[in-house]
């Protein structure tokens, strides 16, 4: 293209092929009429086309209809079924998405139910084995039942409650506890493990031994499981003076398996505690005297009362500690582990087949109803969230499907993917 | 006279006559498309039929997003590619068993075929689609998924090469 020939060779070719816009074609037409070179270029294109046209192929054979006819007949045979087929074709993708979501929901519900069922079984097993709900806190139980007979509140709490009722009026000095111990303070602990062949008699005897020695049972638990020996675990508190005789009686209950004794001298700790307690009481008395005899402004009075409350609290804490020492020294601790000598026995009454089948059917029914109930509960609990996800993912799926169909149509129209 | 697209929509609605009209319009162009690119007339016939079968089976999904001419030649192009891949797999190259079909003037046809075979494959395809299938530049661009300018440049080069080669052939003929 130049000033003499304002039309490029390619444009001349397109002009010859009739592939230009009308205005552009008109301009080139005018130029070609006056330009022999461009006219020749157009003629060359035409000549090539004419020469190429020499390669002719035969017409399609007359019999080229076999497959086409078969396809047409096949299409004609299913005109009625097209509606259902089309319906399915159009809704296939959402149906797949929906089915997948339902499957996912059921799978999640089933797995969740299975886990819950296993947790509950484990919890029930642990419960029947004697573990408290505190020891085994199953994660699925949102409202775990409180353990029967919870531990008593700590002594500090009761002391603080008393403190809250008023400090000045409750001041009483227990002079009996302010004395130093006359002899060594020894805390005795005995661990005794026995095997007995008469479990019930041994248990009764333990209670009578404790009663005779004027002690008490601090803790007692019995474990009994099928096809395993029974076991008793008890913590006995026996007056220190009767420890030896009580131990002798306990040893007679069965074959000793293990025995250990431990003594801890707490005389020093006790003396130190008593001294600190005495000092605290003296401080408290001085503060009370000061508060009673001296006059001052309100700020000083409030400060003095706050100090009295603090000292009183420490006094009560030390008193509780001292009482604990006294109790441990006065009452020796005996931990008894009593196990039954186990004799395996044949099952006396073997249920007949009918009973067993009936029992199995009942268990199966209960299991099925539990499963259905679990699925229903899970669907109710998780269903709304799953529906939200389904709507979200389904929307994306439908959009993706439509985009895919559109792309396929475009590709098909280009001949890239005709099938 | 109905357009191709109207006929196809009629066929989609169930009119068999519409398809017969389409078939009569395109049976020779589609057969010729395969016949010029394959060495076996029987295979060309089969592929031409398969192209129409695909049209029949896909009629329910047909939408007028392009010209029908582009649509049907797109299917034919895809069929041809599949055929060539199959030939490659079976190592049945054209040279092994070349069948010459009936030709009104075999000498001229062979001359042109020889010239075309010496062209670059991309250039040859564009030229053949233009000269034999009579597709517009836009149709060719859409069919081959290439820009319109590329179609023009390839077509121009192809014609220039053909012109040069035919001139050479003419000189040889004269010198004999």
Cross-chain residue pair B35–A58, CB shorter than 8 Å: yes
Predicted local confidence at residue A371, as pLDDT: 93
**Residue A80: exposed, middle, or buried by beta-carbon count in 10 A (0-12, 13-18, 19+)?**
exposed
CATH class name, domain B103-176: mainly alpha
Answer yes or no: is pLDDT of A136 > 60: no
Q: What is the DSSP track for B74-96?
A: HHHHHHHHHHHHHHHHTT--TTT
Mean pLDDT score across all residues of chain A: 78
Residue with tokens 């040279």: B95
Q: Which residues 81-100 of B have a C-beta within 8 angstroms of A?
A: none
Cross-chain residue pair A47–B163, CB shorter than 8 Å: yes
- The tokens for A44 are 């060359």
Q: Find the closest chain A residue to B28 by CA distance.
A: A60
Q: Which residues 22-51 of B have a C-beta within 8 angstroms of A?
A: 23, 27-28, 30-32, 35-36, 41, 45-46, 48-51
Cross-chain residue pair A61–B45, CB shorter than 8 Å: yes
Predicted local confidence at residue A76, as pLDDT: 74
Residues from chain A that touch B36, judged by Cβ atoms under 8 A, are 55, 57
Distance from CA of B121 to the nearest CA of A (A): 16
* pLDDT tens, residue by residue, A65-92: 778 888 888 777 765 545 555 566 666 7
Pick the CATH number of B1-102 from 1.10.260.40, 3.30.420.10, 3.40.50.300, 1.10.1740.10: 1.10.1740.10
Cross-chain residue pair A68–B132, CB shorter than 8 Å: no
pLDDT bin (cut points 50, 70, 90) of residue A145 is very low
Question: Taking CB atoms and an 8 Å cut-off, how many pairs form between chains A and B?
Answer: 145
Residue B126 near chain A (CB below 8 Å): no
Answer yes or no: is pLDDT of B88 > 60: yes
Q: How far is CA A285 from CA A3, A274, A310, B30, B78, in A?
A: 124, 16, 13, 120, 109
CA atoms of B111 and B135, how far apart (whole Å): 23
- The tokens for B7 are 């006929």
A347-363: average pLDDT: 81
* pLDDT tens, residue by residue, A172-191: 444 444 456 667 888 989 99
Cross-chain residue pair A57–B75, CB shorter than 8 Å: no
Cross-chain residue pair A52–B143, CB shorter than 8 Å: no
- Chain-centre distance of CA B26, in angstroms? 11
Query: Per-domain residue ranges for chain A?
Result: 9-52, 82-138+354-419, 168-340
Among A25, A41, A57, A80, the residue to mutate for chain B (most B Cβ within 10 A): A57
β-pair partners for A221: A233
Predicted local confidence at residue A327, as pLDDT: 87
- Which of A193, A181, A308 shows the shortest CA–CA distance to A258? A193
- Which of B19, B89, B28 shows the shortest CA–CA distance to B54? B19
Residue B173 near chain A (CB below 8 Å): no
Query: Per-domain residue ranges for chain B?
Result: 1-102, 103-176
User: Which of A225-234, A308-317, B90-99 is most confident?
Assistant: A308-317
Contacts of residue A314, Cβ cutoff 8 Å, sequence gap at least 6: A280
Contacts of residue A15, Cβ cutoff 8 Å, sequence gap at least 6: A7, A24, A25, A28, A29, A32, A42
* pLDDT tens, residue by residue, A12-35: 899 889 988 888 888 888 888 888
Q: Find the closest chain A residue to B153 by CA distance.
A: A10
Answer yes or no: is pLDDT of A166 > 90: no
């Amino acid at each position: 293209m130049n000033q003499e020939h304002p039309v490029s060779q390619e444009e001349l070719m397109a002009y010859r092929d009739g592939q230009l816009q009308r205005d552009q074609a008109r301009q080139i037409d005018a130029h070609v009429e006056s330009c022999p070179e461009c006219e020749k270029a157009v003629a060359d294109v035409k000549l090539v086309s004419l020469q190429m046209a020499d390669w002719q192929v035969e017409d399609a054979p007359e019999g080229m209809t076999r497959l086409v006819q078969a396809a047409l007949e096949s299409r004609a045979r299913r005109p009625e079924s097209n509606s259902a087929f089309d319906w399915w074709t159009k809704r296939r993708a959402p149906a797949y998405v929906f089915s997948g979501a339902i499957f996912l929901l059921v799978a999640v519900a089933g797995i969740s139910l299975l886990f819950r069922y296993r947790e509950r079984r484990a919890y029930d097993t642990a419960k029947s084995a004697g573990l408290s709900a505190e020891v085994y806190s199953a994660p699925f139980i949102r409202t775990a039942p409180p353990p029967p007979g919870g531990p008593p509140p700590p002594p500090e709490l009761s002391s603080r409650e008393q403190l809250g009722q008023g400090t000045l009026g409750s001041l009483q000095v227990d002079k009996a506890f302010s004395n130093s111990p006359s002899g060594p303070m020894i805390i005795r602990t005995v661990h005794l493990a026995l095997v007995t062949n008469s479990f019930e008699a041994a248990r009764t005897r333990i209670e009578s031994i404790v009663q005779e020695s004027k002690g008490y049972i601090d803790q007692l638990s019995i474990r009994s499981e099928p096809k395993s020996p029974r076991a008793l675990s008890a913590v006995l508190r026996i007056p220190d003076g009767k420890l030896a005789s009580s131990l002798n009686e306990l040893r007679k209950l069965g074959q000793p398996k293990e025995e250990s004794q431990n003594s801890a001298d707490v005389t020093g700790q006790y003396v130190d505690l008593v001294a600190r307690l005495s000092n605290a009481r003296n401080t408290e008395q001085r503060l009370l005297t000061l508060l009673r005899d001296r006059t001052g402004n309100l700020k000083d009075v409030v400060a003095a009362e706050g100090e009295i409350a603090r000292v009183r609290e420490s006094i009560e804490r030390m008193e509780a500690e001292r009482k604990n020492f006294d109790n441990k020294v006065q009452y020796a601790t005996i931990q008894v582990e009593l196990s039954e000598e186990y004799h395996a026995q044949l099952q006396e009454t073997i249920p007949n087949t009918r009973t067993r089948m009936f029992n199995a059917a009942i268990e199966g029914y209960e299991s099925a109803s539990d499963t259905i109930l679990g699925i229903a509960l899970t669907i109710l609990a998780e269903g709304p969230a799953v529906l939200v996800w389904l709507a979200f993912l389904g929307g994306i799926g439908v959009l993706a499907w439509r985009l895919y169909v559109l792309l396929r149509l475009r590709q098909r129209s280009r001949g890239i993917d005709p099938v | 006279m109905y357009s191709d697209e109207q006929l196809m929509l009629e066929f989609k609605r169930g009119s068999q006559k519409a398809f017969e009209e389409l078939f009569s319009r395109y049976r020779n162009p589609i057969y010729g498309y395969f016949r010029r690119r394959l060495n076996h007339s029987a295979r060309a016939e089969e592929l031409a039929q398969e192209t129409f079968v695909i049209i029949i089976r896909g009629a329910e999904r047909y939408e007028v997003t392009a010209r029908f001419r582009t649509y049907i030649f797109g299917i034919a192009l895809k069929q041809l590619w599949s055929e060539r891949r199959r030939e490659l797999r079976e190592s049945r190259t054209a040279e092994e068993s070349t069948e010459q079909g009936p030709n009104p003037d075999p000498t001229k046809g062979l001359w042109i075929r020889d010239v075309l075979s010496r062209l670059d494959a991309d250039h040859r395809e564009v030229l053949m689609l233009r000269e034999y299938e009579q597709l517009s530049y836009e149709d060719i661009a859409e069919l081959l998924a290439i820009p319109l300018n590329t179609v023009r440049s390839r077509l121009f080069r192809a014609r220039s090469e053909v012109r040069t080669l035919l001139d050479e052939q003419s000189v040889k003929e004269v010198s004999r």
